[in-house]
Chains A and B, each alone.
Chain A
Amino acid sequence: MQINFTLNGKALSVDVPPQELLSELLRERLGLTGTHVGCDTSQCGACVVHVDGASVKSCSTLAASLNGATVTSIEGLAPAGGLHPMQQAFHEQHGLQCGFCTPGMVMSAVDFAKDNPKPSPEAVRSWLEGNICRCTGYQNIVASVIAGAAAMHANAKGA
């Protein structure tokens, strides 16, 4: 079926089979391989993208459901030539190692930080329960999300 949606700021019209997942559409057909698939039970969160501003697991979202939606994948988060404040915070706080869970972590964190300018570590940990990282032990991810949230809101105020 034909769907019209906005992906990373651009209007797109694509024909999608009814069973196609958003993760498959992004990775296999649109070449956006920054969205990763780390499991097959919707547990790991490596595939998180934003649909209408909210974080969703693209491995369990049917592409056909996206008609009229606005989708942002990790490739569409940063301003041209730069980093989103959350990406910058992950870099500064060493919030990534192998980088495989990172796109999902960052997308999930941005959604959380929108409404949480000064989150507690416990709140961050609770939010990230759906994103598995095997490398970092989460400590620097928590620090990244706290710093990234502060930076997002500082930037917003400055704007």
Chain B
Amino acid sequence: MPDQHLKSAAPVNPTGIGAAIRRKEDMRFLLGRGNYVADMKFHNMTFGVLLRSPHAHARIKSIDTSEALKLPGVVAVFTGDDLLADKVGTLPCAWPVTGKGGAATKEPAHPALAQGKVRHVGDPVAFVVAETLEQARDGAEAVLVDYEELPAVVGVLDALKPGAPAVFDDIPDNVCVDWEIGDKAATDAAFAKAAHVARIGLVNNRLVGNPMEPRAAIGDYDLARDHHTLWTTSQFPHIAKLLMGNFVLGIPQHKLRVVSPDVGGGFGVKQFHYAEEVLVTWASRKVRRPVKWVCERSEGFISDAHARDHVTEAEMALDENGKFLGLRVSTTANMGGYLSTFGPNIPTNLYGPLLAGVYTTPAVYCEVKCVFTNTLPVDAYRGAGRPEATFCLERLVDVAAIEMKIPKDEIRRRNIIRKEAYPYQTPVMMNYDSGDPLGCLEKALLSADWKGFPARKAEAAKRGKLRGIGLCTYVEACGLAPSRIAIRLGVRGGLFESATVRVHPTGQVTVLMGTHSHGQGHETTCAQIVSSKLGIPAENVEIVFGDTDKVQFGLGTYGSRSAAVGGSALAKAANKVIVKSKKIAAHMLEAAESDIEFEGGVFTVAGTDRKKTFGDVALMAHFPVDYPLEILEPGLEEQSFYDPVNFTFPCGAHIAEVEIDPETGFVQLLGYVAVDDVGTVINPMIVEGQIHGGVVQGVGQALFEDCVYDHSSGQLLSGSFMDYCMPRADSVPSMKVETHITPCTHNELGVKGCGEVGTIGSPATVINAVVDALQDLGVTHVDMPASPNRVWRIIANAGGAQPAK
């Protein structure tokens, strides 16, 4: 039952903050009445299909579109030359970073259709527009491209080798940026005095985000108004509008509307500005008809930005008591064949500063080399940088614990930041405002019966199974982001959020949010915030988002920001409504404004029984018969733009228990406990659901998912759900989710964010459990995914299994 675990104190307001009310948005999805981009049809609509590169790296010698244009139904065929002729710009990177010595990120051009060269399998080469989808497909097959194949490079370490193929002719070493954070000298000094140094080399495997709804886009140009509309599966329609309108197509902002209606999951994958958005918008103006493109799943595997893909060497310096003295991390991160919207930011700003974790390590130094390869662009995916940081740190902590013979819970206890030490300044930029990671840890240990594990291990051994238990703590920096800090870190824009509270004459409320909901349940949680603030039931609140013509500028949804930043903007806007409403109520009640109290939707003159309801005030604001028009405007609508002063820092402790069959190498995840500090919980049912989903995505990385390229040809080997192993209902157990709350100290609601915590903690937790199960065989690390194949080989090499005859 969803609300068995996460129960906060019974809220006074049955639909306010803290109530596990059922979701307002469910009905349309349950009835099959959602409105996704692929569901939409427009009069006179055409269909677009992309011809994509079959090669990882090739020079385009020529493209012959003449045969395609002769086919029935083909309306137009566009190539990179057409974009150049129309002076269409290239896809911008919105968050470059500054490298060592002030070096700039190299930002090579990323055209929406390849120009001169293709740089990964799936690179768009031609866009065919036709009367029907089938005709567009036939057209794409008839486009003749003469390629001169070039050697390709796939792995980040290969890309750095002397003589490696250069993805871009003018970047011969394939290095996009070489970045660092932390005090190198202080860290070196810490290692010089260490009693013990623990080391690990690891790979953070490449992933494909795979939201269940494939991407889609429709461009619709209105000649009469000289106006464009783009319907797209985007997590941030306003940013898509700004990036595409301003930097790519040169459409003035008042002549462009971007709409993201129901979007079937995002997980970061849908927060980038993609080539297809440009192509349907631009082509619609060329052919003077709506153009629709819907991605197929196998096309998504070669066109959605990929994720993770790090190779890392890390070492921890410890004193003789297992106290962390210093941490040194060197990571090489794959950027792919072009920079995606946030590419360089993910393995740098969202990774290095998180390596301090929840520990008191006084010195941390991290360097990250971002490298171009002939693979899909790599960008954010749920957690984005923070799961990678957690995996690196928490694997290293376990290695240190094993080597120093300190219990794995105890080594963490000895180093964890105590509750009283907050606010806590880490050596790598972040200032944690609040948290109690030790509280999370102790609660998780208890909940998972950590002490009882040896008995369970012994029992499993009798059955011939290797049982392991894994522990991980984590911290996340989310609530993206304080604009001032983020701009200093390279982002080309603000990261505030916006909300409008529109009170109708009848007292119901419509809210316009700059964030975007694609599964997170904002239509419910935002209504709960309003319900708490204004004392009206959540069913009287409608949440609108995802349409740049309806909603004021906002930055969309990613980085667990919607409640912490968007929710805070909403609370501020509601506060403004209350301030104005008090003035109106004071006039109606013939009292001083300072004597008006507002509680539970009722304005009262303090110390009397004279009162007006929120509905009375709303009505008076719109029918101002007896109203101080000289000093107060009529109407009741307020807007707020909120820029946070800091990131928010959810933290927690997770524990997983696994059993490995040494005969097959199969890892069975038996149980999972998550104790998370996500700040104030607005809806416990929704928070628990977010953590469930997050954990399973991380479990997917740890045990199942792997995006694999053939290293010689650059062909994607895991390009469908037949080959890329998604977690299924029967591959995961039931989880135990608990919270241990310390409110955020710098936003009104005290919220921190819950969307990514599960994914951040779970890969390290599960692999720590897998390694624990194999520890007696002398195994100290297992790369992800811990597939039967990989685990069986490790066991065999450790002498624990006999190769099959």
Contact = CB atoms under 8 A, between A and B. Distances in A.
A134 B22 contact: no
B548 interface: no
Given A98-B211, A125-B729, 14 more contacts: A27-B39, A34-B33, A36-B213, A78-B30, A93-B2, A99-B262, A124-B729, A132-B728, A134-B265, A137-B696, A140-B689, A140-B692, A141-B729, A142-B734
Interface in B706-749: 720-722, 726-730, 732, 734-735
B26 interface: yes
Nearest to A96: B29
A38 B213 contact: yes
A46 to B, nearest CB: 6
A150 interface: no
Given A128-B730, A134-B212, A134-B726, A34 B692 contact: no
Interface stretch (A63-71, A100-108, A151-159): A100-108
A100 B25 CA distance: 13
A60 interface: no
B30 A87 contact: yes
Nearest to A32: B32
Contacts of A37: 38, 214
Interface residues of A, number: 54
B730 A125 contact: yes
Given A38-B212, A41-B721, A97 B297 contact: no
B297 A38 contact: yes
A126 B730 contact: yes
Contact of A135 (B36, B693, B728): B693
Contact of B298 (A41, A128, A134, A138): A41
B539 interface: no
Contact of B729 (A38, A39, A73, A142): A142
A87 B518 CA distance: 20
Contacts of A149: none
Contacts of B211: 98, 100, 134
B85 interface: no
B264 interface: yes
B239 interface: no
Given A33-B36, A74-B32, A90-B30, A129 B693 contact: no
Interface string B361-402: 000000000000000000000000000000000000000000
8 contacts: A34-B34, A73-B32, A83-B31, A96-B26, A98-B211, A101-B212, A134-B211, A141-B729
B1 interface: yes
Interface in A72-94: 73-75, 78, 83, 87, 90-94
Interface in B54-95: none
Nearest to B1: A143
Given A73-B32, A124-B729, A136-B693, A98 B735 contact: no
Interface centre among A44, A97, A125, A138, by most chain B C-beta atoms within 10 angstroms, is A97
A44 B721 contact: yes
A132 B729 CA distance: 8
B765 interface: no
Nearest to B296: A40
Interface in B291-307: 296-298
Interface in A9-43: 27, 32-41, 43
Interface in B1-41: 1-2, 22-23, 25-34, 36, 38-39
B693 A137 contact: yes
B263 A34 contact: no
Contacts of A135: 212, 265, 519, 689, 693
A103 B726 CA distance: 19
B689 A134 contact: no
B284 interface: no
A133 to B, nearest CB: 7
A131 B33 CA distance: 20
Contacts of A99: 25-26, 28-30, 34, 262, 264, 519
Interface centre among B25, B697, B721, B728, by most chain A C-beta atoms within 10 angstroms, is B728
Contact of A93 (B1, B25, B212, B296): B1
B679 interface: no
B267 interface: yes
A16 B600 CA distance: 59
B519 A103 contact: no
A53 interface: no
A150 to B, nearest CB: 13
Interface string B182-216: 00000000000000000000000000001111100
Interface centre among B31, B34, B262, B296, by most chain A C-beta atoms within 10 angstroms, is B31
B704 to A, nearest CB: 12
A43 B732 CA distance: 18
A125 B728 CA distance: 8
Interface centre among A44, A94, A124, by most chain B C-beta atoms within 10 angstroms, is A94
Given A83-B30, A125-B729, A39 B23 contact: no
Contact of B734 (A74, A100, A128, A139): A139
Contacts of A122: 730
B519 A97 contact: yes
A126 B732 CA distance: 11
Contacts of B36: 33, 36, 100
A47 to B, nearest CB: 11
Contacts of B264: 36, 38, 98-101
Contacts of B263: 98
Given A134-B726, A140-B2, A140-B692, A46 B734 contact: no
A94 B689 contact: yes
Contacts of B521: 97
B495 to A, nearest CB: 24
